[in-house]
C-alpha cells in the first residue's frame, strides 16, 4: 500500500522568501526541474499501461504521478517568485514541444518490468540526491524548506519503486547483476536530453537554438557542483540496496569513490564551456 504525501502547496512557508538570497545559477536548475516534474502524469500513464494487470501498482503509480506534478507546480511557483519575468506556462509548452515520451506504449521500453522499475528507482535516487544537495547548497530559506519537503517525497518514491522492483525481479527471475545493469543504464541515460532540454526550455532566450551537448554541459555546470561526497555515497548506497547487493561494504566504498571521481571529471568538462554567451 502506497503512503501518499500529506502536504499541500499552501502549507509551505512562502513567507520565508528572501529575494536577496536567490542564487541565479541554482535558480536555473530549479526552473529546469520544475518543467520535468510537471510532466509526471505522462510517466504515470505510461506505467499504468505497462503494468495494466497490476491494480496495486497502478494505484501507487497514479498517486506518485500526482506528487511529481505537485513538485513541478511548487518549483514553478517558486521560480516565478524568484524571477517575476519567468513564464512557467510558456517554458513548459516549449519543453513539451521538443521533448515528450510516448505515454501510450504498452510494453516497457526497458525490455522488462523489472528493468522499468530499476529505471524508476534510479530516477528517484537522482531526484532525492538532487533536492538534498539543493537544500544544503541554497542560502534562500524558502527554497531550502521546499527542497527538504520534496526530497522526503523522493526518498519515499524510491522505497515504493524499490519494493516493487524486488517483487518483479523474483517473478521475472532477474539477478542482482541484471538489476544493477538496469540501474546503471538509466544512470548513464541521465546525461540524455530530458534535463538538458528542460534547462534550455526554461533558461534560453527565444531565439536560441537547442544544442544537445552544449545544454547538457550548461546543466551539469550548475547542478553537479552542488553534490557533496556524503550525498554521492548515499546515492550509491540506495543503488546497492535496489540491486540486492550488500550496502555499506568494501564494494560500495569503491563504487562511491569511482562515482565521486567521475562527478569531478564531469564538472571539469562542463566548466570548459563558456557560459556567458546566450544565457545572461
Ligand atoms: Fe519529484
Ligand atoms: Fe519522485
pLDDT tens for each residue of the chain, 280 residues long:
677 778 999 999 999 999 999 999 999 999 999 999 999 999 999 999 999 999 999 999 999 999 999 999 999 999 999 999 999 999 999 999 987 777 677 777 777 899 999 999 999 999 999 999 999 999 999 999 999 999 999 999 999 999 999 999 999 999 999 999 888 888 877 656 889 999 999 999 989 999 998 999 999 999 999 999 999 999 999 999 999 999 889 999 999 999 999 999 999 988 877 555 555 4
Confirm whether 12 is domain-assigned.
Answer: no
3-state SS assignment for residue 106: coil
Confirm whether 31 is domain-assigned.
Answer: yes
Ligand nearest to the CA of 123: 2
Confirm whether 1 is domain-assigned.
Answer: no
Q: Domain of 166? A: 21-272
* CA atoms within 13 A of residue 176's CA, in its CB half-sphere: 9
Cα 124 to ligand 2 centre (Å): 5
Cα(256)–Cα(6) distance, integer angstroms: 33
| DSSP, res 111 | S
Cα(73)–Cα(183) distance, integer angstroms: 28
Task: Report how many domains make up the chain.
Answer: 1
Confirm whether 168 is domain-assigned.
Answer: yes
Q: What is the CATH number of the domain that holds 233?
A: 1.10.620.20
Confirm whether 278 is domain-assigned.
Answer: no
How much is the pTM? 0.92
Confirm whether 92 is domain-assigned.
Answer: yes
Confirm whether 14 is domain-assigned.
Answer: no
Residues with CB under 5 A from ligand 2 (ion): 124, 127, 154, 157
Cα 157 to ligand 1 centre (Å): 9
Amino acid at each position: 500500500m502506497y503512503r501518499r504525501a500529506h502536504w499541500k502547496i499552501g502549507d509551505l512557508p512562502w513567507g520565508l522568501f528572501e529575494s536577496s538570497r536567490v542564487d541565479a545559477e541554482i535558480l536555473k536548475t530549479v526552473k529546469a526541474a520544475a518543467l520535468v516534474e510537471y510532466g509526471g502524469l505522462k510517466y504515470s500513464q505510461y506505467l499504468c499501461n505497462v503494468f495494466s494487470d497490476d491494480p496495486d501498482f497502478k494505484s501507487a503509480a497514479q498517486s506518485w504521478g500526482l506528487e511529481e506534478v505537485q513538485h513541478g507546480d511548487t518549483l514553478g511557483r517558486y521560480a516565478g517568485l524568484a524571477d517575476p519575468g519567468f513564464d512557467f506556462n510558456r517554458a513548459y509548452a516549449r519543453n513539451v514541444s521538443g521533448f515528450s515520451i510516448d505515454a501510450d506504449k504498452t510494453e516497457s521500453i526497458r525490455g522488462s518490468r523489472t528493468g522499468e522499475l530499476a529505471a524508476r528507482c534510479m530516477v528517484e535516487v537522482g531526484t532525492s540526491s538532487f533536492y538534498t544537495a539543493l537544500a544544503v547548497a541554497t542560502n534562500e530559506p524558502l527554497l531550502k524548506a521546499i527542497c527538504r519537503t520534496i526530497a522526503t517525497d523522493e526518498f519515499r518514491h524510491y522505497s515504493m519503486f524499490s519494493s516493487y522492483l524486488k517483487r518483479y525481479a523474483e517473478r521475472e527471475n532477474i539477478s542482482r547483476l541484471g538489476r544493477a545493469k538496469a540501474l546503471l543504464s538509466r544512470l548513464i541515460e541521465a546525461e540524455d536530453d530530458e534535463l538538458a532540454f528542460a534547462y534550455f526550455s526554461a533558461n534560453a532566450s527565444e531565439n536560441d537554438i537547442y544544442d544537445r551537448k552544449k545544454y547538457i554541459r550548461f546543466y551539469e555546470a550548475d547542478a553537479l557542483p552542488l553534490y557533496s561526497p556524503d550525498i554521492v555515497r548515499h546515492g550509491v548506497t540506495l543503488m546497492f540496496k535496489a540491486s540486492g547487493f550488500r550496502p555499506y561494504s568494501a564494494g560500495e566504498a569503491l563504487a562511491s569513490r569511482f562515482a565521486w571521481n567521475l562527478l569531478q571529471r564531469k564538472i571539469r568538462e562542463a566548466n570548459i564551456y563558456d557560459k556567458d554567451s546566450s544565457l545572461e
